[in-house]
Chain A
């Protein structure tokens, strides 16, 4: 029985207890001879996905199922004078209508409730209908009569901070306390610097646009509720929905087998989860509520826009003497609790610098609430910091990679602890520069109107580390195959496959002997949210621990079957091997059959992270591109990427994460920008027509230069996360390459065609003006 300790810690609500659970295994050595971990393998759920059988939340079909739609505010800010649902209730096919007048005041967000009497963004929830079909639900929405008293509103950070700005909430437009951080003497650092950079950057709000919208199908059985939810966090949904509805957690079951993308926006219970549950209870029938594309883009999260003033000080040799960042971010109308957008972090940790100050102020605006979006905060910060570093390198006439090497940190400067893999970032620099051919002569542009440029950017990421708690169970079946069960979820990243490889490796079974089950709170043990690129590093060690426990039992039984001491036995490729006596090897099933119908079972818990070291993920990217100075078009992108994600459990999956992250980074850099009409407060591109995500024709040529050095101090598998990091450095590396090509610095993102054309025109006008 693995050892358990209890440790008191200071939590938000006073002293909490932390359970320290022993994994009972030692980390695989960096050079361990592994058979399955480290091998490329297609996704285990591939067959389901290519045949259309994979069941997503929107594919659930239950007898008597109704379809729901939500009535949303057409105004960015308004008081609701009255809501009349009389006609809607009589409409054909309608089975339930809910609004503030007929449901309990369920607390929501900070001070609010489920259906507010003041709506604060276009898309804010007012009422909902469940009907026999989606079309009928939509018809009924049009029959709900709402009287609004429109109120003045603010759409941008600037408007929200203006002295006479209308207030989004009763206590003003500043959301929570400003977050400040300081070490050393940043003012002196700037004063004493040989060179300083002082520049203001801004990033736009990007929309997640996960292909499967948010939504769920809910069903009551007595007072037990089941939700098939499109979520990254089945246990979070269970906890939050239970709390909102006043149910014990064990009466709520959340199921998620497959999900069509989340990218951070699906880690909390949103209003639609509870709305669907209430409608379902009122109608006495299952209810499916999937957001349509517009609602998805209005009301289910976005990347917070930012304004960042960055000041850097450096000595002539490139050594940083100060980093100062003044940051504003727009939270939208509410703080969801899932925004987690720490824009300050990377300023504090990426580069070695004794004098750092950051101030981060969150601002309310009358726009949809922001929520975490793949590497939240770091993507926004990298756009500014990594361009500022490029500006510094150019001022110093220094190679930008050299400048970064000059300011290398092997320790976590926040905690004063060394990193578990201090060379992670350096290895990334080496591999990416090598793969890209950094410093090599640029080939000539492909036509006369084109200019070619190259750019570089680095990043760190506080995620990817994994953490307790997280559990796994394994049952070794009588036929020698194994069922691995966890309560985690596969959000499209390949979690099933990566974790099954860990189980197969430790058990000594072929991968096709593993059935991997996840995504159901009723059948698997607790797992945390799949966010922060943590799932493999959180659950992998728990799976390994469970497998080790089963393996120990198996060898024990095998030792009586073979009449050899268990210490001379091992398992490989489904066979029990006797040390020094190959002849006597037998199949695992020959042992398990002997004890049928008994089975061997193991339980694994994620143990604690090291106390004296900090785990972190790092990476760097190089970009080459062309800018057409006549059309403003940016194309022919070639990107090389190297990321320290520890041991690569499955290169197929990691390559796909890198390519996917970079592709979203290209969107963030060049085209993705939510546009809000300043006069009406309406989002003008809440769709996939005018909001431009990259298409196949926009996909850059990507080379992933794998780092793949196991981080054996991070956890027992040596693997860290890779989901978010590849997106972080792409946009600044592109912006730096654009500067290299045409000598224009874009401090406002994205580098849309319109911005590039305007800047080129200005450049031409200035050039002509300055001519004698």
Chain B
């Protein structure tokens, strides 16, 4: 290692602070997967074509492979590992299981994060908005119809949980 080529950065991920020393060229995706050991976000294309690396940055679904980690200092990052509360799954996660919205599962965390960002911004999306939320997320296994169903179901589960909570 040559420390001279490394820069300090503090990543704020799933509510925890991670001060790390990284090369400026390291993507957020690599920093998450290698420096933080958060391997839920997947690397498929590494060039912004597939969405498997999607995480939420300051409330927006973003491709982690297109962000440099050094540019993410002080930004609020949520990854798939940050969704469940203890053993309790996020409604989007729950919906994915129930709707069989994956096969191999390699695109799944990206799909879930895109829909999570949608529901955060718009808790009552219509079908077209659900579709548009995941148009940047490819699925080679072709689980698309069930991914859309899961989006619908997640919105319903979340609404139910909200009304039960009141």
Contacts and interface: CB of A to CB of B under 8 A. Distances in A.
A and B are partners in one complex rather than unrelated chains: yes
Interface stretch (A72-80, A578-586, A627-635, A689-697): A689-697
Interface stretch (A547-555, A558-566, A657-665): A657-665
Contact of B139 (A53, A493, A696, A702): A696
Contact of B109 (A52, A210, A694): A52
A293 B84 CA distance: 30
Nearest to B134: A696
B39 A492 contact: no
B90 to A, nearest CB: 8
A58 interface: yes
Contacts of B79: 52
Interface in A485-533: 491-494
A755 B3 CA distance: 54
Nearest to B137: A696
Given A492-B105, A660-B103, A693 B144 contact: no
A45 B106 CA distance: 13
Interface string B113-147: 00000000000000000010011011111111111
B52 interface: yes
Point out which of A135, A491, A662, A697 has the most chain B C-beta atoms below 10 A from its C-beta. Answer: A135
B50 A51 contact: no
B50 A696 contact: no
A51 B23 contact: no
Interface string B36-49: 01111111111101
B80 A51 contact: yes
Interface in A349-401: none
Given A43-B97, A50-B93, A56-B106, A209 B140 contact: yes
A239 interface: no
A56 B30 CA distance: 16
A694 B142 contact: yes
Contacts of B93: 50-51
B83 interface: yes
Interface in A206-243: 209-213
B34 A696 contact: no
Interface string B58-81: 000000000000000000000111
B105 A49 contact: yes
A137 to B, nearest CB: 13
Contacts of B1: 92-93, 132
A293 to B, nearest CB: 5
A210 B140 contact: yes
Interface string A320-357: 00000000000000000000000000000000000000
A663 B147 CA distance: 14
Contacts of B41: 52
Nearest to B5: A92
Nearest to B79: A52
Contact of A261 (B96, B98, B141, B147): B141
A389 to B, nearest CB: 26
B44 A688 contact: yes
B23 A135 contact: yes
A432 to B, nearest CB: 18
A92 B134 CA distance: 40
A51 B139 contact: no
Interface in B134-162: 134-135, 137-148
Nearest to B80: A52
A42 B147 contact: no
Contact of B143 (A263, A656, A693): A656
A494 B97 CA distance: 12
Contacts of A58: 39, 42-43
A359 B89 CA distance: 56
A652 interface: yes
Contacts of B145: 659, 699, 702
A211 B84 contact: no
A257 to B, nearest CB: 11
B142 A699 contact: yes
Nearest to A661: B142
B100 to A, nearest CB: 5
Contacts of B98: 42
B102 A49 contact: yes
Contacts of B134: 696
Nearest to A497: B100
Contacts of B81: 51-53
A209 B139 CA distance: 10
A483 to B, nearest CB: 22
B11 interface: no
B38 A52 contact: yes
B25 A135 contact: yes
A135 B44 contact: no
Contact of B138 (A213, A492, A661, A695): A695
Contacts of A51: 40, 80-81, 83-84, 89, 93
B36 to A, nearest CB: 11
Contacts of A407: none
A211 B42 contact: yes
Contacts of A660: 103, 141-143
Contacts of B56: none
A653 to B, nearest CB: 8
Contact of B103 (A48, A55, A493): A493
Contacts of B44: 211-213, 260, 293, 688
Given A92-B2, A688-B50, A49 B108 contact: yes
B147 A696 contact: yes
B28 interface: no
B129 to A, nearest CB: 13
A59 interface: yes
Contact of A656 (B2, B103, B109): B103
B13 interface: no
Interface in A288-344: 290, 292-293
A663 B138 CA distance: 12
B140 A695 contact: no
Interface string A47-67: 111111111101101000000
Given A61-B37, A261-B141, A695-B135, A687 B49 contact: yes
A102 to B, nearest CB: 25
Interface in B1-27: 1-2, 23, 25-26
A117 interface: no
A209 B106 CA distance: 12
Contact of A689 (B40, B49, B108): B49
Point out which of B97, B103, B134, B148 has the most chain A C-beta atoms below 10 A from its C-beta. Answer: B103
B47 A212 contact: no
A259 B104 contact: yes
B45 A293 contact: yes
Point out which of A45, A55, A59 has the most chain B C-beta atoms below 10 A from its C-beta. Answer: A59
Contacts of A694: 142, 144
A290 B40 CA distance: 16
A134 B30 contact: yes
Contacts of B45: 293, 687-689
A133 interface: yes
Contacts of B104: 210-212, 258-261, 491-492
A206 to B, nearest CB: 12
A444 interface: no
Contact of B97 (A46, A93, A657): A46
Point out which of A43, A61, A260 has the most chain B C-beta atoms below 10 A from its C-beta. Answer: A260
Given A134-B30, A696-B135, 10 more contacts: A42-B98, A52-B38, A52-B81, A210-B106, A211-B42, A211-B138, A260-B106, A655-B100, A659-B146, A687-B47
Interface of B: 1-2, 23, 25-26, 30, 33-34, 37-47, 49-50, 52, 79-81, 83-84, 89, 93-94, 96-98, 100, 102-109, 112, 131, 134-135, 137-148
12 contacts: A49-B102, A50-B112, A61-B37, A61-B39, A93-B1, A135-B30, A210-B104, A210-B140, A213-B44, A656-B103, A688-B49, A699-B142
Counting from the closest, the 6 A-B pairs by CB-CB distance are A52-B40, A663-B142, A260-B106, A492-B104, A49-B105, A52-B80
